[in-house]
Amino acid sequence: MTVNNPKIEAPVLHLIGEEADRLGLECYVIGGWVRDLFLHRPSDDIDVVVVAPQPPEGGENSGIGITLADAVAKRLGKGAHLAVFKTYGTAQVKHKGMELEFVGARRESYRRDSRNPIVEDGTLEEDQNRRDFTINAMAICLNKHSYGELLDPFDGIGDLERCIIKTPLDPDITFSDDPLRMMRAIRFATQLGFNLDGETFDAIARNKERIGIITKERIAEELNKIMLSRRPSEGWILLDKTGLLPLIFPELAALKGVEVKEGRGHKDVFYHTLKVLDNVAEGDSGLWLRWAALLHDIGKPRSKAWDPQAGWTFRNHNYIGAKMVPKIFARLKLPLNEKMEYVRKMVDLHMRPINLIEDTVTDSAVRRLLFEAGDDIDDLMLLCDADITSRNEQKVERYHRNYQLVRQKMVELEERDRIRNFQPPVNGDEIMAMFHLEPCSLVGELKAAVKDAILDGVIPNERDAAIQYINELWQKKQK
């Protein structure tokens, strides 16, 4: 079949084919770019596989990928940047925001950044055999004699139509070649809204322990792609069903299940969490708010208790959860920077707005939340809205309305008191100068007293009022 899509007529693809013809090589665009062409997804990474006319029997890698990349970079001229990875027999050409990757066809399993140097050249078919999924194994010829011809030995097109993720070979072989592919299978299923083929699914369940040899960084990359999908819950459910979840994220697996005592059960926190995550994802939220949603109740199993009067309780689960965040981030190799701090804060504060919906709530409590959440207050309110997952529609309606009122109250107080980006109107140096003090704990005490007076509404958030307040405090202390 010849591909009929304007993208395949891109001048750069014709140019690659012309250079290959000149060098007497066969070349094909392959992998993700071809898959995305049929799915109408944008893609600037183009993988090109190069085949020697007669691969040497058991021969050394002849570096034909590098040869073609070099010729293409020269033809493209000044704007092109060539990078050669000799040990791996690959080369990359960057040009006008595109990344062109060149590699010789391999008999061995394909891993772009494999630690093992490539040892043997292969035919196109051998190369396609060793790729991860049928939808990623399709190739389109770039040589003039068959330009645009699709080579699809495993019916990748059919699997795209059927929305199936399936390995080209026996899945036990494909996954043992590279166990990261078990994560990739679930990630592609989630990103594309596809199903896992039955045998592929069973093989993941059978080979799950092999995930242990994959670095945490690679797993994190896949998890982040799952998290950024339209319905991230689908990925986490597949991770659970295949048995990978407890191996890569035991704290999340621990949220599963319902305990019943005296006829009273609690929510299944795992499925509740996934609903909250999907709710947040619907609103086009960023990666870290999604992580906050996934972790908001992570402290629940550790705080769960049975109270004969109240039933199941999860006291302080937000504090316990917030304390778990840095450890989880460290183990999953997620960044230990301000992103982690943001997630920790969200988990810590996620129960606060719900306590502000009563009529009797004081302005002081609202100001304190504004102060602690700072600029992240809007994200916190999005998380709290997403956290309402009751099946009772009237209840959901009531909660949303109440949150609206809390938001309104916040807006009013913020307009008046500007607490969000609170900076003390008098700093420590000024306090020391006012009373001729050396640095000491009293300076900190006076500063904290001013902050509390402002947050409690005793004085307005203004410099003159703050100075007068400190003077009065000082006078009292002298008596």
Q: Which of 95, 106, 166, 181 binds ligand CTP (CB under 6 A)?
A: 181
The separation between the first and the last C-alpha atoms of the chain, rounded to the nearest angstrom, is 95
111 is an interface residue for ligand CTP by CB under 6 A: yes
Q: Tell me the window of 174-182, 392-400, 452-460, 468-476 that interacts with ligand CTP (CB under 6 A).
A: 174-182
Query: Cβ closer to ligand CTP: 116 or 355?
Result: 116
Q: Which of 103, 180, 276, 382 binds ligand CTP (CB under 6 A)?
A: 180
The angle formed by the CA atoms of residues 65, 71 and 72, to the nearest 5 degrees, is 85
Instruction: Tell me the closest approach of the beta carbon of residue 454 to ligand CTP, in angstroms.
Output: 50
CB neighbours of residue 386 within 10 Å: 23
Instruction: Tell me the closest approach of the beta carbon of residue 181 to ligand CTP, in angstroms.
Output: 5
Q: Tell me the window of 53-61, 180-188, 252-260, 331-339 that interacts with ligand CTP (CB under 6 A).
A: 180-188
Question: Is residue 111 classed as helix, strand or coil in its secondary structure?
Answer: coil
Q: Tell me the window of 105-113, 194-202, 443-451, 460-468 that interacts with ligand CTP (CB under 6 A).
A: 105-113
Q: How far apart are CA 289 and CA 163, in angstroms?
A: 29
Instruction: Tell me the closest approach of the beta carbon of residue 185 to ligand CTP, in angstroms.
Output: 10
131 is an interface residue for ligand CTP by CB under 6 A: yes
| Inter-axis angle of helices 180-192 and 198-207, nearest 10 | 140
Query: Cβ closer to ligand CTP: 38 or 422?
Result: 38
* Nearest residue to 36 via CA among 23, 45, 26: 45
Q: Which of 136, 229, 242, 461 binds ligand CTP (CB under 6 A)?
A: 136
Query: Cβ closer to ligand CTP: 113 or 438?
Result: 113
Query: Cβ closer to ligand CTP: 48 or 295?
Result: 48
Q: Please give the single-letter amino acid code of residue 273.
A: T
Instruction: Tell me the closest approach of the beta carbon of residue 41 to ligand CTP, in angstroms.
Output: 9
32 is an interface residue for ligand CTP by CB under 6 A: yes
102 is an interface residue for ligand CTP by CB under 6 A: no
Strands (E), 278-420: 305-307, 311-313
Give me the phi and psi of 139, to 5 degrees please. -130, 150
Residue number with the smallest Cβ distance to ligand CTP: 32
321 is an interface residue for ligand CTP by CB under 6 A: no
Instruction: Tell me the closest approach of the beta carbon of residue 224 to ligand CTP, in angstroms.
Output: 12
Using the structure block, give the residue that is written with the tokens 């958030």.
Answer: 461
Q: Tell me the window of 69-77, 109-117, 231-239, 428-436 that interacts with ligand CTP (CB under 6 A).
A: 109-117
Q: How far apart are CA 192 and CA 226, in angstroms?
A: 10
47 is an interface residue for ligand CTP by CB under 6 A: yes
132 is an interface residue for ligand CTP by CB under 6 A: yes
Residue spans of alpha helices (H) in 41-179:
64-76, 124-129, 156-162, 171-177
106 is an interface residue for ligand CTP by CB under 6 A: no
Q: How far apart are CA 66 and CA 90, in angstroms?
A: 6
Give me the phi and psi of 29, to 5 degrees please. -85, 140
379 is an interface residue for ligand CTP by CB under 6 A: no
Give me the phi and psi of 83, to 5 degrees please. -125, 130
Query: Cβ closer to ligand CTP: 99 or 414?
Result: 99
Q: Tell me if 361 sits within 8 A of 355, measured CB to CB.
A: yes
Give me the phi and psi of 419, to 5 degrees please. -90, -30
- DSSP readout, 390-453? -S-HHHHHHHHHHHHHHHHHHHHHHHHH--TT---SS-HHHHHHHHT--S-HHHHHHHHHHHHH
Instruction: Tell me the closest approach of the beta carbon of residue 45 to ligand CTP, in angstroms.
Output: 6
Q: Which of 31, 55, 171, 299 binds ligand CTP (CB under 6 A)?
A: 31
Query: Cβ closer to ligand CTP: 111 or 302?
Result: 111
41 is an interface residue for ligand CTP by CB under 6 A: no
Give me the phi and psi of 173, to 5 degrees please. -75, -50
Q: How far apart are CA 32 and CA 477, in angstroms?
A: 72
Q: Tell me the window of 107-115, 157-165, 389-397, 452-460 that interacts with ligand CTP (CB under 6 A).
A: 107-115
Total residues interacting with ligand CTP, rule: CB under 6 A? 15
The angle formed by the CA atoms of residues 418, 424 and 429, to the nearest 5 degrees, is 160
Interface ranges with ligand CTP (CB under 6 A):
31-32, 45, 47, 110-112, 131-132, 136-137, 178, 180-181, 184
